Amino acid sequence: MEKEALIPANDLCTYYEVSYTFISGLHDAGLIELDVIGELGYVHQEQLSDLERLIRLHKDLEINTGGIETVVQLLERIKLLEQRLLTLEQKLSIYE
């Protein structure tokens, strides 16, 4: 089994110019996973694209962590509704 790469959260904070409190807040909200090894937090490499999207929401639109959590939940709800609509359209096409 291949070991997943972990990136130090402090390095991400420096690179993206965000505070560790912001990264920790995303973790507390359940938006990203943050592994703590020793006293340092690490983010899984596979979560980088999600983290970048959340950082853009925070910086570009000046949305706080609570607002980001709401936006993510709404986007997930829209995705589920789109999937449901597609399924219903496929079922409806049987009767046409």
Q: Please check whether residue 83 lies inside any domain of the structure.
A: yes
Which tens digits make up the pLDDT trace of 82-95? 999 999 999 998 88
Q: Please check whether residue 28 lies inside any domain of the structure.
A: yes
Which tens digits make up the pLDDT trace of 14-44? 999 999 999 999 999 999 999 999 889 999 9
DSSP string computed for 4-24: PPEEEHHHHHHHHT--HHHHH
CATH number at residue 39: 1.10.1660.10
Range of the domain at 17: 6-94
- Higher pLDDT: 2 or 52? It is 52
pLDDT at residue 48, as a whole number: 95
Contact 4, 45 (CB under 8 A): yes
Q: Please check whether residue 1 lies inside any domain of the structure.
A: no
pLDDT at residue 4, as a whole number: 72
C-alpha 64, offset from chain centre = 14
Residue 50: name the closest of 36, 33, 70, 62 by CA.
33
pTM over 0.85: no
Number of domains the chain is built from: 1
